[in-house]
Amino acid sequence: MAINELEEWPAESAGLLAAAALFHGFSDPSRLAILRHLALGEHRVTDLTAHVGLAQSTVSKHLSCLKECGLVTSRPQGRASIFSLTRPEALMEVWAAAEKLLDLTGDAVALCPNYGAETLKDER
């Protein structure tokens, strides 16, 4: 069942659970920064570490999450792994839609007491 079908269904439906898992992949600012850099092309973990300013173990943990969500893929190159976006064109469409929604909601998302910008800063 697709998440955009307009019929009544329980919150536990497969479509909503899959959507929640996908959005969980997007739920961390560091993962978004990693995805943004991968949108520029393939990167090694050490390259991403330098770009996002996080420890290599942290970047690897985020890449593992993104890979499990099907958002990134990797291939070996010597002793390193090269990471890239699985579906870059679809990710660009999601980002464009997110930017449009953020423009329409204004400060509401940033000021949300549960998931707003201040809450995210506190979690880092």
Distance CA 38, CA 47 (A): 10
Distance CA 30, CA 63 (A): 10
Distance CA 70, CA 45 (A): 17
Q: Which two tokens stand for residue 47?
A: 């390259």
What's the predicted TM-score (pTM) here? 0.78
Q: Quick one: pLDDT at residue 75?
A: 96
Q: Quick one: pLDDT at residue 1?
A: 47
Q: Quick one: pLDDT at residue 30?
A: 93
Q: What is the pLDDT along the chain (124 residues), one digit of tens a residue?
A: 455 554 555 666 777 888 888 888 888 989 999 999 999 999 999 999 999 999 999 999 999 999 988 999 999 999 999 999 999 999 999 999 988 988 888 777 777 777 676 665 655 5
Residue matched to tokens 């330098």: 50
Of the candidates 77, 69, 87, the one whose C-alpha atom is nearest the C-alpha of residue 31 is: 69
Q: Quick one: pLDDT at residue 25?
A: 84
